[in-house]
Amino acid sequence: MEKLPAILPGRRRKRPAHRGNRRVRAFLHGLPKVELHLHIEGTLEPELMFRLARRNGIVLPWRSVDAVRRAYVFQNLQSFLDLYYAGCSVLRREEDFYDLAWAYLARIAGQNVRHAEIFFDPQAHTGRGVPFGTIVAGIGRALDEGRRRLGISSALIMCFLRHLSSEAAMEALEQARPFQDRIVAVGLDSTEAGNPPERFRAVFERARAEGFRAVAHAGEEGPPEYIRQALDLLHVSRIDHGVRCIEDPGLVRRLAEEQVPLTVCPLSNVKLRVFPTMAEHNLKRLLDLGLCVTVNSDDPAYFGGYVEENFEAAREALGLTRDDIVRLARNAVRGSFLDDAGKERLLDELDAYVDRAGV
């Protein structure tokens, strides 16, 4: 008689890898998520870009949606920003901003995102003659509807373009004044190298005095010193990207001690060649060093994935465990601008989900 393999009590047979993958993917999909680093202009999918261009009588430099997608090969941050600002040119009217933001919310509702803190770049639009109020009205209407119809809470963060002057940033802050009930924080984005946070010290000081919270992109392409400046001169609550902190062990220790949230964007970092491959990304290393790392999508229409795809790409390449994934998700709740009750509610929801999934 053929001898059956002994199955010892309590010892499980090994699950085939693809089945394990499927289970982790399902777990990731259902996980309640928070996104803290998302440029609304970076969610402009080529299909919508063409629709808005047609609606506004704008001729794009590409002949088709496929041609646009083929153009999305970037050497660095600047080569991306050149296309990103070209894409912005189709956003003119209130309904354009509404359609853009609504498309993003509808998409992330399918990824179980429960809360999103969303950047916008007012100067990329006011510089073309679009009134500040038009931008905020369109995005704001979509956010209200997202809250009501999709159960997604949200906050708006206005970013200053750091390739422009600090006087221009100050002017943007002035224009934001009537919309302060809509805007929770100020941020700093665009071309990082050569544009240190210290240039924007006064404008951040004014913004904080007026009640805005503060965040800043730092340590994406710029040196660790820019992260220190963002912390010490701009007094930011979190650092957007921050991955180059790894070059400065003292800074890494400080970020871990102070639990400064880093809004890391894995697909963006590979697309913009901050890391040559996802396998070389330092997200897992930073997490293992005890930093408050979060996973985000940055400009998903340009980088090939929304927040769930970012989690999945990092998980697959870096071997993130379920514990890692839960930690990343919890970090995002803690690092958000939700009030304590809001954080508590989301953390409870997360815990209940993890319990049900049986981690």
Among 117, 298, 308, 324, the residue binding Zn ion under the rule CB under 5 A is 298
Tell me which stretch binds Zn ion (CB under 5 A): 20-28, 244-252, 291-299, 301-309: 291-299
Which amino acid, residue 159?
C
Instruction: Note if 95 is an active site residue.
Output: no
Residues in the chain: 359
Q: Is 220 among the residues that bind ligand ADE (CB under 6 A)? A: yes
Beta bridge partners of 292: 261
Pick the catalytic residue from 35, 220, 308, 312. Answer: 220
DSSP letter string over 198-225?
GGGHHHHHHHHHTT-EEEEEESSSS-HH
Residue 235 CB, nearest approach to ligand ADE (Å): 20
Q: How far apart are CA 177 and CA 82, in angstroms?
A: 29
Beta bridge partners of 33: 113
Residues near 255 by beta carbon (within 8 Å), at least 6 away in sequence: 227, 239, 242, 245, 262, 291, 292
Three-state DSSP state, 4: coil
- Give how many residues touch Zn ion by CB under 5 A: 1
Q: At what angle do helices 132-145 and 94-109 cross, to 10 degrees?
A: 30
Q: Which of ligand ADE, Zn ion, none lies near 42, with the C-beta cut-off 5 to 8 A by kind?
A: ligand ADE
The CB-nearest residue to ligand ADE is 189
Three-state DSSP state, 321: coil
Which whole-number Å values give the CA distances from 110 to 12, 103, 329, 334, in the listed order?
A: 34, 11, 17, 23
Q: Is 42 among the residues that bind ligand ADE (CB under 6 A)? A: yes
Tell me the torsion sign for CA atoms 288, 289, 292, 298: negative
Report strand pairing: 183-189 vs 153-161.
parallel
Per-residue interface string for the shown chain with ligand ADE, residues 180-209, x marking contact by CB under 6 A: ---------xx-------------------
Among 96, 298, 312, 324, the residue binding ligand ADE under the rule CB under 6 A is 298
- Shorter beta-carbon distance to Zn ion: residue 137 or 183: 183
Q: Is 39 among the residues that bind ligand ADE (CB under 6 A)? A: yes
Q: Is 117 among the residues that bind ligand ADE (CB under 6 A)? A: no
- Shorter beta-carbon distance to ligand ADE: residue 85 or 337: 85
The CB-nearest residue to Zn ion is 298
Residue 220 CB, nearest approach to ligand ADE (Å): 5
Per-residue tokens: 153: 């809470």
Q: Which of ligand ADE, Zn ion, none lies near 77, with the C-beta cut-off 5 to 8 A by kind?
A: ligand ADE
Tell me which stretch binds Zn ion (CB under 5 A): 3-11, 73-81, 271-279, 298-306: 298-306
Tell me which stretch binds Zn ion (CB under 5 A): 141-149, 249-257, 292-300, 308-316: 292-300
Per-residue tokens: 236: 């930011």
Interface with ligand ADE by CB under 6 A: which residues?
39, 42, 77, 84, 189-190, 217, 220, 268, 298-299
